[in-house]
Structure 1
Amino acid sequence: MEELFAAFFAGRRSFDQLAVDLRAYSQNGDQGLSVLSAALQEQINLGRMPYDLAMILFQEVGRPPEPVPAPSLPEAPPLPATKASDEETLRERVDAVVLSALIGQFKDLRKGGEARARQNQRQLDDALTAFRSARLRQDARNSAAGNGRPLVLGRDGREENRVGQILRDRFILDAELGRGGMGVVYRAADRRRVEAADSRPYVAIKLLNGDFGAHPDALRAMEAEARRTQDLSHPNIVAVHDFDRDGTHPFIVMELLEGRSLDACLREDSAFAGSAAAWHAIRDIFAGLSHAHAQGVTHADLKLANLFLNSEGRLKILDFGIASAARSGDFDTLALDAVTPAYASPEQLRGAPRDPRDDVYAFGCLIHLLLTRKHPFDRIPATDAMERGMVPPPIDGLTDAMQAALASALAFDQTVRPADAGAFLAAFQGR
C-alpha cells in the first residue's frame, strides 16, 4: 500500500487510479478497510495528506461499485454541473497534496548535514525534477480547462523575478541584484564551480529582456560584443565569462562583484563627491576606458550605474558595447535604457555610429558629478543644451590643464573633443 501512495505523491497515479487500486487492495471487508484507515492515518501523521482528503479517499474506496445499467435501459442523463464542479475542486485538492508531498520529500532529503546532502544529491535532483514535472502537468490541465496562468509580467512589461530557475543545466539563479531596461542581473551558483569545490561558486548573470529573442540581429550583435569584452582583460573592466542562451532567454555570464555602483555612492554618501575615493574612481575610469579604446572597443553607455566600486575600493566598468548591440534590433533604445540622454553625446542622440568620443563626452559629465554632485548641463540632453547655448561651469580646485581638458571633452562639436580616453587623460594631466 505504501508503494501506491508513493506513486500517487510522485504524480504517477491519479486520484481515481489510486482509489481503484486501494479498493482492490481492500477487498477483505471491514478488515481491509481497517488496514486502509490505519495507512491513511499514517499519511496524515506524516503530513503528506490533509485529513479531509484522506476522508474523501476512504469514503471513495469504501463506496460500493455502481451497477452497470442493462442495455435495454435508456441512456443516463448527463451529470449535473455541480458534479463537475465537485470533481474540479477535488482535482485541485489532489494536485495540492501531490505538490505538497513532493516539497516535503525534498525538504526531508535536505536534512542531515553536509555529508548526507552529498549522499542524497541524486535523490534531491530527482525530487526537484518530480516536483517541476507535477507542477507543469498541473499547469497543463488548468490551461486545457481554460484556467491557465500566463507568464506574470511586471508593470513595465518585464519578466518577474526568476530566482530558482536553472539555465543550461548549469547556472542556478540565486538572488536578484538589480534591474534595468536591458534586463535583470542575478547572482547565480555555477554548478561546475560547486562540483569542483571552488571557493567562489557564484557568478553574475545578466538575463536579457525577452524582446531580444525576437531580434536575431540584435542577439548576434550582443554576442559579438560579449566576445569582444572577454578580450578586455583589465583590472578596471568587469570580466565577461560567456554569452549563452537557454531557450528564448539570452544571458551574459560575468564575474560577481561585491560593493555598490557609483550612483549609490553619491546617493547614499553626501561626502563622496570630491573625496579621495571619488578621485580614485576617476583614475580607474581613465585606466579602464583608455585600455578599451586602445583595443578598439567603445562603451557607448557610460554612466554612474555602469560604474561599480567593489569591496576592495577598485572601480569596475560594466556593460561594454551592450547599448550599441541593442541598436542592431528594432528597439526603442531610450526605453531600453540603452542610451541615457543625460550622458549621451549629440551624435548618439541623433543616431550616428558609435565613436570613442561619445565615451569622452559621457566621462566629462561623470567627472562633474563625481567632484561636485552636479551635472554640467543639469542633466539636460546635449542637443537641447547646445540649442540653449549652455556652457559647463568650472570646477574649483582643478588646474588650468584639467579645466581645459574637461571643457573640450564636453564640447558639443565632436571634432573638438579628445580622440579617445587616452588622449583625454594626456590633456587632463597637462601632457
Structure 2
Amino acid sequence: MTISERAPAGPQETDPFDAALIAFVSGRRPFERLVKDLCALAAERESGLAHLSARLQDFIDLGRIPYDLAVLLYQDVAQAGAEPAAPDTPAAVPEPADGDIQRKVDAVVLQALVGQFKDLRKGKASRAPEPERQLDAALASFRGARARHDARNAAAGTPRAYEPAPATPERNLVGHMLRERFVLDAVLGRGGMGVVYRAVDRRRLEAQARRPYVAVKLLGGNFRAHPDAVRAMEAEARRTQELPHPNIVTVHDFDRDGDHVFMVMELLEGRSLDAVLADKALGFAGSAAAYRAVGELCAGLALAHARGVVHADLKPGNLFLCADGTLKILDFGIASAARDEGGFDGSTLDAMTPVYASPERMRGDPRDPRDDVYALGCLVHMMMSGRHPFGRMSALEAIDNELEPEPLPQLRPAEQAAVRAALAFEAEDRLADAFAFLEASGWQV
C-alpha cells in the first residue's frame, strides 16, 4: 500500500472513513464488519482507495492503529474492489471464518507490537517520538497479545514450545520480590525440588491483614532446566487446590517471574514431623498427640485417594505438625503428577524416599494408593514407637533379610492388624487405600 495522498475530512462533520475506524478502535465494530464498511465507502468515491490510504496514514501518525493492521485493512479493501460490484451494491467482501479473521488480526497486532517495542527499546526515531513510559505499555501490550495468540494456538492443538530456563547456581533470595508482590523474608526449608521461603504478601499488607505472610516454594536451579519440572510443580499446585481438607496444606497460586517458578501456599506455624520425631525431649512418639496425628494423616490421605490422587512420597519431611497440634500433608503432586499428566514420571526427579517406598515403587511399577498405604504403615510405627518398622531398610532390603515389623502393644488389636496389613510386601495382601485402613483399624479420627 502506498500511503501518500491526502484527502482531508470536511471541517464540519466527521469523515465517514474516520467514523468507521473510530468505531473499530473503540471496540464497537468487529474487524470483518469494518472491512465491509470500508469497502462500501471506497466504492462510493471515485478516489475511494486514495482517500482510505490518507485516513489510515493519519490514524497511524496519531498512534491509533498499528502500521501492519492498516496495511491489512488497505489490502483487504483493495482486493475486494478488484472485481466490479453490481450497481448500487456495496463491494462484496469474502466471508472468512471468524477464527481465521481473529488469527489474522492477532498475528498482525503481534507483529506491530513487536516492532513498536523493538523501536522503543533501541531508541529509534522511525516513528513519532513517544514518552519513555510507553515502553512499559508497549511491553505489556505485547505480552498480553502474545499470550492470547499462544492460547489460541494451544487450543487448536499447536502449542508453542517454551525453552526451559537454564540451570543456575542456587543463591539466597531473601529480600527478593516476585511479581511485584511477594517479598521473600526468610528461608523455611530446602527439599528435593527447591527452597521454601516465608514471604510478605504486599496485597495482604496493604489490606492490613493480621497475617500478611505466606509460604513461597521456588523450583530449584537444576529443576528449572528439567523439561518437565515446571509442569510438575504446576500440576502439584492444581492437584492440591482440588483437595480442600484441613489436613492438607492450602495452595493459593502457581506463577513465574522471569526464571523463578514458584508456588504460593499458606504459611504454617510449627515444625515438620521429622524435626518433631528427632527431638526426643518432646516425648511425641506414642503420645495422645501422635495418635491424633495418625488419624488426621489418614483422613487427609483418604480424601486424596477418593479423588484419585496418590502422594507417592509420604515421609516425615512431607508432614507438618502445626502449633495447635494439627497435622498437614505437604508436597502433593511431584510423583502424583506423573504418568496421567502426559507421560512424566516423577521418579525421574528423585521424588521418592526408599525407606518409605513400597516394593512396587522401588521396582518402578505404576503408582497406586497401596504405595501410600505402605508408607502409612511405616509412619504409624514412627509416630507410635519412634522407630522405623524395618530399621530404616528399604522394602526390598527388608524382603531380602526376611524382616517382620515389631508389634505396637499400645494399639488395639484391630489397629495392630491394620498396620501389619499396611506393611505387607505383596500389593494384593495390602489394604487398598487410606479409607480401607481407617475402616479396618477403627482408628479414631
Question: For the superposition of Structure 1 and Structure 2, which TM-score range results when normalised by the shorter chain?
Answer: 0.5 to 0.7
Pair 1:313-2:291 in alignment: no
CA distance in 2, matches of 1:311, 1:374: 23
Structure 1 residue 353 corresponds to structure 2 residue 359: no
Structure-to-structure mapping, 1:137-156, within 5 angstroms: none
**Counterpart mapping for 1:275-314 below 5 A:** 275-314=287-326
Amino acid at match of 2:405: P
Post-superposition CA distance 1:41-88 (Å, at most 9, x none): xxxxxxxxxxxxxxxxxxxxxxxxxxxxxxxxxxxxxxxxxxxxxxxx
Q: 1:399 aligns with which of 397, 408, 412?
A: 412
Q: Distance in 2 between matches of 1:364 and 1:301?
A: 13
1:206 aligns to 2:217 (yes or no): yes
* Structure 1 residue matching 2:199: 3-state secondary structure: strand
Alignment of 1:213-224 (within 5 A): 213-224=224-235
Q: 1:326 deviation in Å?
A: 7.3
3-state SS of 2:228 partner: helix
Corresponding residue of 1:267:
278
Give, in whole Å, the separation in 2 of the partners of 1:401 and 1:362: 19
Q: Deviations over 1:326-356 (max 9, x none)?
A: 78668875xx652111101111111222211
**TM-aligned CA deviation for residue 225 of structure 1:** 2.6
CA contact (8 A) 1:258 1:311 kept: yes
Shift of 1:430: 8.3
Q: Distance in 1 between matches of 2:443 and 2:210?
A: 45
One-letter code of the match for 1:369?
M
Q: Could you tell me which runs of 5 or more consecutive residues in structure 1 were left unpaired when the two chains were aligned.
A: 1-152
Cα separation, 1, equivalents of 2:359 and 2:429: 13
Letter of the 2:408 counterpart: I
Q: Which moved more, 1:316-325 or 1:270-279?
A: 316-325
**How big is each residue's C-alpha offset from its partner over 1:138-181, in whole Å with a ceiling of 9 and x where there is no partner?**
xxxxxxxxxxxxxxx9xxx9612210111122111000011112
Q: 2:171 aligns with which of 160, 169, 172?
A: 160
Secondary structure of 1:216 counterpart: coil
Q: In the aligned structure 2, how far is the partner of 1:292 from the partner of 1:332?
A: 19
Give 1:64-143 correspondences, 5 Å limit. Answer: none
User: Which of the numbers 387, 390, 394 marks the counterpart of 1:381?
Assistant: 394
2:250–2:265: 8 Å Cα contact kept in structure 1?
Answer: yes
Cα drift, residue 359 of structure 1: 0.7
Q: Which amino acid aligns with 2:395?
A: A
CA contact (8 A) 1:401 1:427 kept: yes
The structural deviation recorded for 1:254 is 0.4
CA RMSD of aligned residues (A): 2.2
Counterpart residue identity of residue 184, structure 1: V
Q: 1:236 — aligned with what?
A: 247
Cα distance in 1 between the residues matched to 2:232 and 2:381: 32
Give CA-to-partner distance per residue, 1:4-56, whole Å, 9 cap, x none. Answer: xxxxxxxxxxxxxxxxxxxxxxxxxxxxxxxxxxxxxxxxxxxxxxxxxxxxx
Whole-angstrom distance in 1 between the partners of 2:382 and 2:276: 11
Tell me, in whole angstroms, the C-alpha distance in 1 between the residues paired with 2:386 and 2:440. Answer: 23
Distance in 1, matches of 2:169 and 2:431, equals: 39
Structure 1 counterpart of 2:247, which letter?
N
SS of equivalent residue, structure 1 residue 368? helix
Cα distance between partner residues in 1 of 2:419 and 2:200: 43
Task: Flag structure 2 segments of 5+ consecutive residues without an equivalent.
Answer: 1-166
One-letter code aligned to 1:297:
V
Cα distance between partner residues in 2 of 1:389 and 1:307: 29
Identity score, percent? 64
Q: CA offset at residue 215 of structure 1? A: 2.8
What is the SS of the residue equivalent to 2:320? strand
* Alpha-carbon distance in structure 1 between the residues aligned to 2:269 and 2:401: 41
Partner Cα distance (2:311, 2:285) in 1: 24
Task: Supply the distance in 2 between the matched residues of 1:236 and 1:392 (Cα, whole angstroms).
Answer: 27
2:365 counterpart SS class = coil
Match of 1:191 in 2: 202
Amino acid corresponding to residue 320 of structure 2 in structure 1: F
2:275 maps to amino acid = A
| Structure 1 SS opposite 2:312 | coil
8 Å contact 2:318–2:329 — kept in the other structure?
Answer: yes
**One-letter identity of the residue aligned with 2:386:** R
Q: Which residue of 1 aligns with 2:435?
A: 422
User: 1:218, CA displacement in angstroms?
Assistant: 3.0
Q: 1:287 Cα deviation (Å)?
A: 1.0
Q: 1:176 aligns with which of 187, 191, 203?
A: 187
User: 2:336 & 2:389 partners in 1: Cα distance?
Assistant: 24
Q: Which residue of 2 aligns with 1:362?
A: 375
Contact 1:303–1:366 under 8 Å retained in 2 = yes
Q: Which whole-Å CA distance do the structure 2 matches of 1:407 and 1:165 have between them?
A: 48
C-alpha contact 2:295 2:443 (8 A) present in aligned 1: no
Q: Deviations over 1:87-106 (max 9, x none)?
A: xxxxxxxxxxxxxxxxxxxx
Shift of 1:382: 0.7
Inter-CA distance 427–409: structure 2 relative to 1 (3 Å threshold): same
Q: Count how many residue pairs are aligned between Structure 1 and Structure 2.
A: 274
**Structure 1 counterpart of 2:217, which letter?**
K
- In 2, Cα distance between equivalents of 1:423 and 1:330: 27
